[in-house]
């Protein structure tokens, strides 16, 4: 059995979420299962009514980084949410919301985009991660 790739998404800016979506899609394309665990600001970005919004960029981007990211978008780059959706069509992707972050941010499962498969605690995440790599973004 192929060990899964396990991503903990913490940051809620569009550039980091884009990077995470690309990692996920790339793994899905070679048949590697991916477990995605959403915490804090990444979880907030997956709210159904906010997912398509502008979530800003990491502080190191600066105005020049903003312009570069915008130009890639205008050239037709898929958004991070679209990239996740396409990756999920390939199968093997499980996206779970961290139950602690749900409490912290007062989010109900019905508030989340359908990309999110469910809610779990950190123990379930660790057990499902098996011997696969864990990446924190």
Partner 1 sequence: MTLLITQQVDARGLSCPMPIVKTAQAMKSISSGSLLEVLATDPGSVKDFEAWSRTTGNELVERSVEGAVYRFVLRRK
Site string for partner 1, 98-117 (x = CB under 8 A): --------------------
Pair type for strands 93-98 and 118-120: parallel
Is residue 52 within 8 A of residue 81, CB to CB? The reply is yes
Closest CB to partner 1 among 3 and 89?
89
Q: How far apart are CA 17 and CA 57, in angstroms?
A: 10
Q: Spell out, one character per residue from 71 to 90, where the chain touches partner 1: x when CB under 8 A holds, - when not.
A: -x--xxxx----x--xx-xx
60 phi, psi to nearest 5 deg: -70, -10
Task: Tell me if 48 contacts partner 1 by CB under 8 A.
Answer: no
Q: Which of 31, 29, 33 is nearest to 7 (CA)?
A: 33
Beta-ladder partners of 35: 6, 94
For partner 1, the closer CB: 78 or 105: 78
DSSP class of residue 79? P
Q: Rounded to the nearest whole angstrom, what is the least distance from the CB of residue 87 to partner 1 in the complex?
A: 7
3-state SS assignment for residue 1: coil
Name the minimum Å distance from CB 96 to partner 1.
22
The total of other beta-carbon atoms located within 10 Å of residue 76's CB is: 6
Taking CB under 8 A as the criterion, the residue among 31, 56, 114, 121 binding partner 1 is 31
Is 127 near partner 1 (CB under 8 A)?
no
User: Is residue 1 close enough to count as binding partner 1 by CB under 8 A?
Assistant: no
Q: Which residues bind partner 1 (CB under 8 A)?
A: 22, 25-26, 28-31, 72, 75-78, 83, 86-87, 89-90
């Amino acid at each position: 059995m192929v060990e899964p790739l396990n991503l903990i998404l913490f940051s809620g800016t569009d550039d980091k979420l884009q990077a995470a979506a690309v990692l996920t899609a790339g793994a899905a394309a070679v048949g590697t299962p991916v477990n995605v665990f959403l915490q804090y600001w990444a979880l907030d970005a997956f709210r159904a009514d906010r997912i398509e919004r502008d979530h800003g960029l990491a502080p190191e981007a600066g105005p020049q980084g903003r312009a570069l990211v915008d130009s890639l978008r205008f050239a037709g780059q898929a958004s991070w949410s679209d990239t996740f959706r396409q990756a999920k069509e390939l199968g093997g992707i499980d996206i779970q919301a961290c139950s602690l972050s749900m409490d912290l941010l007062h989010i109900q499962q019905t508030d989340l985009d359908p990309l999110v498969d469910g809610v779990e605690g950190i123990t379930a995440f660790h057990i499902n991660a098996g011997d696969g790599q864990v990446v924190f973004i």
